[in-house]
Structure 1
Amino acid sequence: MRAVKNLLVLYTGGTIGMLETPEGLAPAGGFEVRMREHLAARSDAPQVQWALCEMNPLLDSANMQQANWLAMRDAIVEAVEHGGHDGVLVLHGTDTLAYSAAALSFLLLGLPVPVLLTGSMLPAGAPDSDAWDNLVGALRLFECGLEDGVQLFFHDQLLHGCRASKLRSEAFDAFAALPRHRDGERAAAIPSVLDYRQPRQPVKLAVLPVFPGLQAEHLRGLLDSGVQGLVLECYGSGTGPSDDQALLDALHDARQGGVVIVAISQCPVGSVVFDTYAAGSRLRDTGLVSGGGMTREAALGKLFGLLGAGLDVQAAEHWFALDLCGERA
C-alpha cells in the first residue's frame, strides 16, 4: 500500500454529477470545476494531486454497455501506461456500479495501481447529498494508501470490486458485500492472455434465473440468439428442475455447441455446491461450471473478461473455476 501522488479522476457520468433538466436529472459536464471549487472551500480537503478526464458520452449508468466498460479500461490503461498516473478514481452511477466494478476487476488484472469506484445517491449540490462525502472519502483513501486492484467505496465502506452488490435503491448505504461462501483455488499466476494489457472484445452474454415454469424452449430461444456465455441463477445450492429432460438436454446441447454456462445461487447469501442434492448433480452433469459463492455481477464480469480475451470454452471454464483476484477465495 502506498499513497497516490498523481491521481486520475475518470468521470463517467452518474447521479453524482447530474443537473436538473426539463426531463429530469441528467448527466452534465463541467464536473471538474465544481469538484475543485468544493475542495478549495474545505479546510480538511485531502492533499492529493489529481487530474480529471471526462468520458464521452457521459452516462446515466442505467445505459451502461460492454462498449463503455472497454472504453473505461482503455482510458485507465492509457492513464497508467502513458500518463504517469499511479491511481484511478472512477465516478460512476449507482445502478450498474457493482457490475462495472466487477467487469473492471477482470479487465485490469495485474494493473499495478489501485482503482476505486464511487458515486452517490443524490447529486453533488443537492440538499443533504452524499456525493461530497463519498468523493472526499475516496480521495482520503488514496492519500493514505490503497492496495492495487479494483475496489468500491460507498458510505464509508470499502468493498472488494467483485463482491459488492447494490441492495437498496434509496438509502445511502446502498451497497454491501454479502457473506457468500468462497471456495476457489487461487490461480498461481495470471496468464498473459488475461493481463490488463490484453485488449478485449464485446461478448454476447446472458443471465437467466431458474424459476417454476422455466421451459426448454425458453432456454433454447435464448441460446439460439448467439449467446457465448450464460450465467444460470439456480435455486439454493445449485438446483433446478432436474426431472425435465428436455431442459437438461437444452443445457447439454448448448455446452456441446460451445456455450460456457456457469451456475450461481440466486439466494442473496448462497453458494453452489452441486453434490448436495441429486437435482444439483443432474444440472452439473449437463456441463455447467460452478460459480461457488460468486455474485451475479462477478460471474457476468468474469465471463466477459475471459471470453472477451478470446479464450475457447475449455480455457474459459478452467480459469472461471480458479480465483483470479479474490472473487472466489
Structure 2
Amino acid sequence: MTAATLHLAQRVMVLYTGGTIGMQASASGLAPASGFEARMRDFLASQPHVHIPQWRFREMSPLIDSANMTPAYWLHLRTAIIEAVEQDGCDSVLVLHGTDTLAYSAAAMCFQLLGLKAPVLFTGSMLPAGVPDSDAWPNVSGALSALAQGQPYGVQLYFHDELLDPTHCAKVRSFGRNPFVALKRNGGGTKAQTLPSALTYQHPKEEANVGVLPLVPGIGADQLDAVLNSGIQALVLECFGSGTGPSDNPAFLASLQRAYDKGIVVVAITQCHEGGVELDVYEAGSRLRGVGVLSGGGMTREAAFGKLHALLGAGLPFDDVRRLVELDLCGELA
C-alpha cells in the first residue's frame, strides 16, 4: 500500500448501531442504550493528546444487541453509510457494532459498498464503556486515529490496535481483548476484471434469503432438503477439508441436483480455519461439483454469506451469480 492510496479523514460519520460498547445495566441484564454520543464526546475531550478528525454522530434506529442483526438491518446500515458520504459531506465512516456479528456485518458491507470512495471502519468492544478494564474507549479513539492517519477506500475491522480485512477474519473468542483473528485461507479465485453495474453501491439492493448448513458425519438428504425447501435462494454448504461431503449417498447428491435445477445457488466452503475448497482433489468433492455445487475457495463463512446476499440482492440472473461467486470481487478470494 502506498501513501497515494491512503485517504486521510477530515470529517468522520460515527454510526452507532448498539452492541456491548454502549450497553448499560437493565433489570434483564446489559442492554443497548441511547446517549452514547455525549459519553463519547466527554471521553474524547479528556484526551487532547489523541489526534482525531472532526466527527459527527448518528444513532441508528433501532439500537440492537448484535445477536439480533439481520440482512434487513444491513440494508438500513448500507443506506446510512452512503448518505453519510454523499449527503452529509463525510469522507470516512466509523461503525460502532456489537462483536457477536461484527465480522458478518463488516464482510457484508465489503460487497454492499463496492465502488464507494470512502474508508469505512467497524469497531466495538468486549466490555461496555465505563466499566473497569473496558476496551471501548481505546477502540473508539484508536479507530478514529487510524482514520486520521489515512486508510484505503473500502471496509476494514479495527480492534485492539489491529486492522483486519473483514472477508478474511472471524470472531473466535468470547473473552479477552482480541476476539477476532485473520484466518489463514487459500485464495482460489481469479480477480473480476469488471463488475456488473448492479453490484456497485449506487444501485439499490434487495434483501436476499441465504442459508448455511454445516456438514456432520451421517447428515442425510432429509436434513439438506429441509434447508433447501425453506425458501432460500442460496446455500453456504460448510464441507469437510478441501470440500468433501457424503458423495456415496445418492439421495444427498440428488437433493443438491434438485437445488441446482430449481435455481438455488450452492457454494461449498471449508469448515477448517486454514486452507480452502478444491472440489476436484477428491472424488468426494468432484461429485459435489458434478451436481452443481460451486467452489467457495478460501472464503470464510462470513464472506460467502455476505457475498451471496449482495449478488442475489442485486437481482442478477442465476448464471451471473454462479459465475461471480467464483471470481474475486474485493479480496475475498485473494
TM-score normalized by the length of structure 2 = 0.97
- Per the TM alignment, residue 189 of structure 1 is displaced from its structure 2 partner at its CA by 2.4
1:267 aligns with 2:272: yes
Matched ranges for 1:184-263 at <5 A: 184-263=189-268
**Which SS does the other structure have where 2:236 is aligned?**
strand
**Which SS does the other structure have where 1:12 is aligned?**
strand
Give the corresponding residue for 1:20: 25
Could you tell me whether the CA contact under 8 Å between 1:110 and 1:190 is conserved in 2? no
Give the corresponding residue for 1:300: 305
Give the corresponding residue for 1:67: 72
Could you tell me whether the CA contact under 8 Å between 2:268 and 2:293 is conserved in 1? yes
- Per the TM alignment, residue 225 of structure 1 is displaced from its structure 2 partner at its CA by 1.3
Give the corresponding residue for 1:53: 58
Cα distance per residue 1:185-224 (max 9 Å; x no partner): 1111222110001111111110001111211111112111
How far apart are the structure 2 equivalents of 1:233 and 1:47? 42
**Which SS does the other structure have where 1:206 is aligned?**
strand
How far apart are the structure 2 equivalents of 1:300 and 1:232? 10
- Per the TM alignment, residue 243 of structure 1 is displaced from its structure 2 partner at its CA by 0.3
- Per the TM alignment, residue 45 of structure 1 is displaced from its structure 2 partner at its CA by 2.4
Give the corresponding residue for 2:13: 8
Could you tell me whether the CA contact under 8 Å between 2:7 and 2:119 is conserved in 1? no
How far apart are the structure 2 equivalents of 1:126 and 1:313? 50
How far apart are the structure 2 equivalents of 1:6 and 1:98? 25
What letter corresponds to residue 198 of structure 1 in structure 2?
Answer: H
How far apart are the structure 1 equivalents of 2:176 and 2:291? 41
Give aligned-pair identity as a percent: 56
- Per the TM alignment, residue 280 of structure 1 is displaced from its structure 2 partner at its CA by 0.6
How far apart are the structure 2 equivalents of 1:196 and 1:232? 27
What letter corresponds to residue 265 of structure 1 in structure 2?
Answer: T
- Per the TM alignment, residue 312 of structure 1 is displaced from its structure 2 partner at its CA by 1.8
What letter corresponds to residue 228 of structure 1 in structure 2?
Answer: Q
- Per the TM alignment, residue 64 of structure 1 is displaced from its structure 2 partner at its CA by 0.2
1:311 aligns with 2:316: yes
Could you tell me whether the CA contact under 8 Å between 1:109 and 1:190 is conserved in 2? no
Residues 154 and 47 of structure 1: CA distance in aligned 2, closer, same or farther (over 3 Å): closer
What letter corresponds to residue 75 of structure 2 in structure 1?
Answer: L
Unaligned runs of 5+ in 2: 1-5
What letter corresponds to residue 183 of structure 1 in structure 2?
Answer: G
Matched ranges for 1:42-121 at <5 A: 42-121=47-126
Q: Which deviates further from its counterpart, 298-307 or 169-178?
A: 169-178
What letter corresponds to residue 211 of structure 2 in structure 1?
Answer: A
- Per the TM alignment, residue 70 of structure 1 is displaced from its structure 2 partner at its CA by 0.4
- Per the TM alignment, residue 177 of structure 1 is displaced from its structure 2 partner at its CA by 0.8
Cα distance per residue 1:139-162 (max 9 Å; x no partner): 111110000000000111100121
How far apart are the structure 2 equivalents of 1:14 and 1:103? 18
What letter corresponds to residue 90 of structure 1 in structure 2?
Answer: V
Q: 1:147 aligns with which of 152, 167, 179?
A: 152
How far apart are the structure 2 equivalents of 1:160 and 1:147? 12
- Per the TM alignment, residue 47 of structure 1 is displaced from its structure 2 partner at its CA by 3.0
Give the corresponding residue for 2:178: 173
How far apart are the structure 2 equivalents of 1:30 and 1:244? 56
Could you tell me whether the CA contact under 8 Å between 1:208 and 1:230 is conserved in 2? yes
Cα distance per residue 1:75-118 (max 9 Å; x no partner): 01111111111000000000000000011110000100000000
What letter corresponds to residue 250 of structure 2 in structure 1?
Answer: Q
- Per the TM alignment, residue 269 of structure 1 is displaced from its structure 2 partner at its CA by 1.1
- Per the TM alignment, residue 43 of structure 1 is displaced from its structure 2 partner at its CA by 2.8
Could you tell me whether the CA contact under 8 Å between 2:65 and 2:98 is conserved in 1? yes
How far apart are the structure 2 equivalents of 1:321 and 1:274? 12
TM-score normalized by the length of structure 1 = 0.99
Cα distance per residue 1:257-289 (max 9 Å; x no partner): 100000000111131011111111101111011
**Which SS does the other structure have where 1:274 is aligned?**
coil
What letter corresponds to residue 276 of structure 2 in structure 1?
Answer: S
How far apart are the structure 2 equivalents of 1:307 and 1:47? 38
